[in-house]
Amino acid sequence: MSSETWTCPTCGTQVEAHLDRCHICGNPRPEPAQQEPEATAPTWRGPRFPVITLSLPVALAVLAFFVSLGAVSVYMVLQRTNRIVEPTPVPTDTPTLTPTATHTPVTPTPTYTPLPTPTPFTYVVQKGDTCLSIARTFDVSVQAIILLNQLGSTCTVYEGQKLLIPQPTPTPTPEPTETLPPEEATRAACETVTHKVKPDDTLLAISLTYDVPMDAIREWNGLVGDVVFEGMALVIPLCMRNATPGPSPTPSPPPPYPAPVLLLPPDGAVFSLTDAVVLQWAAVGELRDNEAYAVTLIDLTSDEERRLVVYVTDTKFVVPEDFRHTGAQPHVYRWWVMPVRQVGTDEEGNPVWEPAGASSEQRTFVWAGLPEVGTPTPAP
């Protein structure tokens, strides 16, 4: 390709020599100037303006710069004159998701259908019928027949009478349980007997015969009154018998008392002829009216056993002088104390005692003997 070019006189773009038009502005290639004959004399020419040649990208950048500069200038002028009009925001279209329709089955609304009310039916009384037998035949209560037919408390019927019998109310079957309800368990465990009413029987007489309250007989047989009829079969609940009166409960005895603590005299004490021996101990508590202390005293030196048992409510006892020995030798005595309680009397009317606690420890004391007859008593 030739490197020769020509200059577009309009936009100044260098165009290759084989092109007839400018590829920028589209102007045709100018005709080449005719060569002038060589002048015989030099010709004077003035200065030429410099020719600036720009490429298309640079020209576009320059054009954009000047456009921006003009826009900024206009904006500054309008801002100073308060004539700026804010552009109206153009809402951006937000895509809206269209939900996909899901088929939901429509649940039909239940329609309440009232249950038909059971209507009573008519029954013609046969010979020998009673309210109780009719009620049992149709599995209804006697009271329901009385109320429906307004028969009164006696419930008297006769042969050929037309009675309205209510439909038995269906009882929902309870869910199975491990144990029966209390009422059913009581009835199932109750011993019963059937009594056929005799001509002279009354409800009171039947109640006294079986020792069962009248209320219990009425409840078990669905009776609304005290009238019974000959031939009526009554169920007598023997488990509802009146309680048999028994002996009055005996109050439980109080707990046993602790062993009394002996105070005086000390173990092994020696008393002279003129001393009075007083036995003392600590109280075990407040004694009741039928309680006491049993003081036992034994003469250990005597050839024949001499024993003394006394019952006192005090915490001391003075050994009587008549329990002293009559010999000249000293005698050894043993004693102890025990709380006791009277539980009755014997055939002679003497009180009968039983232990009410533990026995105390046993102690001894020595009592000097009495002088023999004719022997002077030493002066004190």
Q: Can you list the domains of the chain with their CATH numbers?
A: 1-30 (no CATH), 121-165 (3.10.350.10), 185-240 (3.10.350.10), 262-367 (2.60.40)
Contact between 196 and 209 under an 8 Å Cβ cutoff? The reply is: no
Q: How many CB atoms within 10 Å of residue 273? A: 14
Over residues 295-304, mean pLDDT? 83
What percentage of residues in the chain have a pLDDT greater than 70?
A: 70
d(CA 361, CA 261): 8
Per-residue pLDDT tens for 210-243? 888 988 888 888 888 888 888 888 888 888 887 6
Task: Indicate the pairing of strand 363-367 with strand 269-271.
Answer: parallel
More confident residue, 44 or 31: 31
- Alpha-carbon dihedral angle through residues 18, 23, 29, 30, given to the nearest 10 degrees: -140
For the ranges 157-161, 271-275, 331-335, which has the lowest average pLDDT?
Answer: 271-275
User: For residue range 249-269, what is the model confidence (pLDDT) as tens digits?
Assistant: 555 556 788 889 998 889 988
**The whole model's pTM is what?**
0.35
Do residues 331 and 302 lie in contact, with contact meaning Cβ atoms separated by under 8 Å? yes
Give the residue carrying structure tokens 């009354």: 202
Give pLDDT tens digits for 76-86.
877 776 655 55
DSSP 75-93: HHHHHHTT---PPPPPPPP
- Is the pLDDT at 339 greater than 90? The verdict is yes
Please tell me the distance from the alpha carbon of residue 205 to that of residue 221, in angstroms, as a whole number.
Answer: 16
DSSP-assigned beta bridge partners for residue 299: 306, 333
Q: Report d(CA 138, CA 158) in Å as an integer.
A: 18
Cα 64 to chain centroid distance, Å, stands at: 88
Q: What is the mean pLDDT of residues 340-351?
A: 86
Copy the structure tokens of residue 271: 């008393």
- CA distances for 183 relative to 179, 189, 190, 214, 220, angstroms: 11, 10, 11, 19, 12
Q: Quick one: average pLDDT of 64-92?
A: 73
Looking at residue 322, the DSSP 8-state letter turns out to be G
Q: Which two tokens stand for residue 368?
A: 């000097």
- Dist CA 170 CA 166 (whole Å): 12
Burial class (CB in 10 A: 0-12, 13-18, 19+), 365: buried
